[in-house]
Chains A and B, each alone.
Chain A
């Protein structure tokens, strides 16, 4: 077996959780919470994409809202202008996200650390401008709507729940496979030391570009599903603040790439604004405090326990 073995208890917990979530819409309360839970599955996927870049690339992005937006807008626009179903528009959205990530990754392949983080932030700043510039396609300030329905026989509301859930399970599955692959191991060595990677044929450029592209693709996948279940998207959903919040979710989930970890992050991003509704500005304070607590607190914990021992992806 490769890699760290997941303890059996954790595996049981995970599948148990999936089953509970699968039946929740049927047996649970039929209200807004289910819809928000669906949103959190999509957010979870996007948050996992941010964590992917941290785990495999050792880089922090505060601009991933861009790739999520590309996925979201691709799905929405393809439905609006070509009546394409999610089954076609989502893969196309993923490809679009991957391409966009490639376009950002190539010229920035030699930049790392703080410089790269600032660059991602600046890229995120340009997104709302572009969306508003091409108003005729993107619906400008008002954004676009989606039908939220891709198959017969299930209510749109339930589809908006199950599609992202399946999506999240799918991402968890492929990333677990990925960890065992030679590419993943190469990326991890390259992250530890670019020179070591290069000494074994793993070029720094390849590592950066692959990592970024995969991350962008996953973000677009989540974004597309977000458009599907939110049924309405606008530039307001994808500001630079969005990207900050995605990072908060990623940090809260401790950069987890798993179903449960991603879900924790997604729940955080989806539910805090609701719980603090009416005190919108408190959301900022809450997120900021969370970042501080997790980051500084995690450091304190590391001194005294083995809890965070291997979490030094970002040296």
Chain B
């Protein structure tokens, strides 16, 4: 029982990471109906950029600089990808998705060319602190993850609920055509959601890396579970992304502990197929993946 609590707790922590990763995916999907397969690769590149800047000295300032640098790069990348696929977004969602896969491969290739076989540790510049409450372990890192996750969700919630662009976003995601008729600039809204998604994915990358190591594939691999989280939660629901992320985080941990970690992905497949069998749109999703005739 004690084990269970501890596992669930640490599952929630990693769940937050998956949730943030998934939110990035959902933001883009809601505004363009496109699944951004370049998501993990962009996040990986962002992490490496931060690494490059903080290589000499892992100080707060350098981290800030590195983060800004990474965010700028991510914004540029996200914007470029969106501009490239913009003409097809309005024609076919799956074709645009394939285009993002192409972009993802390119980014992954570039990351590998530049950073090659680097496998490094990237620790956050926060003081080491730890407090054990029975099976529940509070560390400075855990708290940071929760704080950032809550902040991100909070900022997004207010932005989407209250701000002008947020209203536009909601309108575009429920009815792009009607939004255009009402004079909304679809491209602008979509571009902004891409940029927001890019920033969110950079945040996710930074949170993920300290728990494992940073290699050219580790972040992308992590992000694959963010896809699972988004599908499970319902691809057109931000709340679903959070729920999905937490669920995936917890389940992953439970499977690893009770059933061994060799077949983690396989168990995830079973979970996905089970959930989608009863909830074809994910736990909190509405409508379908792609609208057909």
Contact = CB atoms under 8 A, between A and B. Distances in A.
A216 B87 CA distance: 33
Interface stretch (B47-55, B134-142, B174-182, B262-270): B262-270
Nearest to A128: B265
Contacts of B228: 118, 122
A277 interface: no
Give the interface residue-count category, chain B.
35 or more
A291 B277 contact: no
A129 B109 contact: no
Give the interface residue-count category, chain A.
35 or more
Interface of A: 58, 60, 62, 104, 107-108, 110-119, 121-123, 125-126, 129-130, 132-133, 192-196, 240, 244, 247-248, 251, 281-292, 295-296, 299-300, 312, 314-315
Q: Secondary structure of the A side of the interface?
A: helix
Given A117-B35, A296-B88, A289 B106 contact: yes
Q: Which 9 A-B pairs have the closest CB atoms?
A: A113-B290, A291-B102, A288-B105, A284-B109, A113-B289, A288-B106, A285-B109, A115-B289, A292-B102
B251 interface: no
Contacts of B77: none
A275 to B, nearest CB: 15
Nearest to A191: B292
A315 B292 contact: yes
Contacts of A60: 94, 97-98
Contacts of A129: 262-266
A61 to B, nearest CB: 11
A192 B293 contact: yes
Contact of A292 (B29, B103, B110, B112): B103
B272 interface: yes
B108 interface: yes
Contacts of A244: 101, 105
A168 B288 CA distance: 36
Contacts of A285: 105-106, 109-110, 113
Nearest to B111: A281
A291 B101 contact: yes
Contacts of A290: 102
Given A114-B94, A126-B269, A296-B87, A288 B288 contact: no
